[in-house]
Amino acid sequence: MTEFNSIEINNIDPEQERKEILKHYRGLLSVCRPNTSQDDRKKIRQAFNFSLQAHKDHRRKSGEPYIYHPISVGRIVVEEIGLGATSVVCSLLHDVVEDTDYTLADITEYFGEEVAKIIDGLTKISGIFDQTNSVQAENFRKMLLTLSDDVRVILIKLADRLHNMRTLDSLPPKKQLKIANETLYLFAPLAHRLGFHAIKSELEDLALKYTDPDIFTSISQKLEESEEERNRFINNFTLPIKKVLNEQGVNYRILGRTKSISSIWGKMKKQEVPFEEVFDIFAIRIIVDTPEEREKADCWRVYSIVTDFYRPNPDRLRDWISTPKANGYESLHTTVMSKKGKWVEVQIRSKRMDDVAEKGYAAHWKYKESKSAESGIDKWLNRIREILKTSERDALDFIEDFKLNLFSDEIFVFTPKGELRTLPIGSTSLDFAYSIHTKVGDQCLGAKVNHKLVPLSHPLKSGDQVEIITSVKQKPKPDWLGYVTTARAKGKIKASLKEEKKKIAEDGKEKLDRKLKQLKIDNNQDNIQKLVTYFKHQAPIDLYYDFAIDKLDIKDLKNYLSEQEKGGIFSYLKNPFSKTIKTAEIKEPVDPIRQKLKEKPDTLLIGDGLEALDYTLSPCCNPIPGDDVFGFVTVSEGIKIHRNNCPNAMQLMSKFAYRIIKAKWYTGKSIAFLSGIKIRGIDDMGILNNLTNLISSEYNLNIRSINIDSNAGTFEGTVMLYVNDTQHLNNLISKIKKIKGVKLVTRIGK
41 versus 590: which is more confidently predicted?
41
pLDDT at 190: 79
In a domain, 284, yes or no: yes
Q: Decide: 677 and 733 in contact? Cβ < 8 Å.
A: yes
Last residue of a domain, one of 450, 485, 520: 485
State the burial class of residue 297 (Cβ atoms within 10 Å of its Cβ: 0-12, 13-18, 19+): exposed
Last residue of a domain, one of 434, 464, 485: 485
- CA angle, residues 601, 603, 609, in degrees to nearest 5: 90
Domain identity same for 104 and 173: yes
By annotation, the residues acting in catalysis are 98-99
In tens, the pLDDT along 387-415 reads 555 544 444 455 555 555 555 567 778 88
Domain identity same for 111 and 204: yes
3-state secondary structure (DSSP) of residue 68: helix
Output the DSSP codes for 190-257: HHHHTT-HHHHHHHHHHHHHHHSHHHHHHHHHHHHHTHHHHHHHHHHHHHHHHHHHHHTT--EEEEEE
Domain identity same for 190 and 150: yes
Over residues 286-294, the mean pLDDT reads 92
Residue in 405, 381, 385 with CA at minimum distance from that of residue 487: 405
Q: Decide: 366 and 353 in contact? Cβ < 8 Å.
A: no
Domain identity same for 253 and 366: yes
pLDDT at 564: 66
Q: Decide: 162 and 203 in contact? Cβ < 8 Å.
A: yes
CB within 8 Å of 533: residues ≥ 6 apart: none
25 vs 38, 44, 78, 95, 647, CA distance in Å? 16, 10, 13, 17, 41
CB within 8 Å of 444: residues ≥ 6 apart: 429, 430, 433, 456, 468, 469, 470, 474
Band of residue 183 on the pLDDT scale cut at 50, 70, 90: confident
Percent of the chain residues past pLDDT 90, beyond the cut = 18
Q: For residue 659, what is the DSSP state?
A: G
In tens, the pLDDT along 233-267 reads 999 999 999 999 999 999 999 998 888 999 899 88
Residue count of the chain: 750
pTM of the shown model: 0.65
187 versus 578: which is more confidently predicted?
187
In a domain, 381, yes or no: no
pLDDT at 252: 93
In a domain, 508, yes or no: yes
Last residue of a domain, one of 436, 458, 485: 485
Band of residue 150 on the pLDDT scale cut at 50, 70, 90: low
Averaged pLDDT of the chain:
78
pLDDT at 7: 40
Domain identity same for 203 and 101: yes
Domain identity same for 47 and 171: yes
Domain identity same for 93 and 20: yes
Domain identity same for 552 and 697: no
Q: How many domains does the chain have?
A: 6
In tens, the pLDDT along 641-695 reads 888 888 788 777 766 777 777 777 765 555 667 788 888 888 777 777 888 888 8
In a domain, 324, yes or no: yes
Output the DSSP codes for 432-492: HHHHH-HHHHHTEEEEEETTEEE-TTPBP-TT-BEEEEE-TT----GGGGGT--SHHHHHH
Q: Left if phi > 0, otherwise alpha if psi is -120 to 50, otherwise beta: which for 550? A: left
Q: Decide: 632 and 640 in contact? Cβ < 8 Å.
A: yes
3-state secondary structure (DSSP) of residue 669: coil
Strands 282-288 and 318-319: unpaired
pLDDT at 401: 56
Domain identity same for 80 and 139: yes
Task: Give residue 544's domain range.
Answer: 496-573
In a domain, 475, yes or no: yes
d(CA 152, CA 211): 30
CB burial readout 193-209, b (16+ within 10 A) else e: bbbbbebbbbbbbbbbb
Domain identity same for 115 and 34: yes
pLDDT at 490: 87
Residue type (1 letter), 436: I
Over residues 296-311, the mean pLDDT reads 94
Domain identity same for 659 and 620: yes
Would you say residue 132 has pLDDT above 80? no
Over residues 597-604, the mean pLDDT reads 50
pLDDT at 381: 57
Q: What is the largest CA-CA distance in the chain?
A: 100
Domain harbouring 714, CATH code: 3.30.70.260
pLDDT at 188: 86
Domain identity same for 169 and 249: no
611 versus 386: which is more confidently predicted?
386
* 303 half-sphere exposure, CB direction, 13 A CA radius: 22
In a domain, 7, yes or no: no
d(CA 550, CA 544): 10
In a domain, 569, yes or no: yes
Would you say residue 456 has pLDDT above 80? yes
In a domain, 559, yes or no: yes
Domain harbouring 481, CATH code: 3.10.20.30
Domain harbouring 84, CATH code: 1.10.3210.10
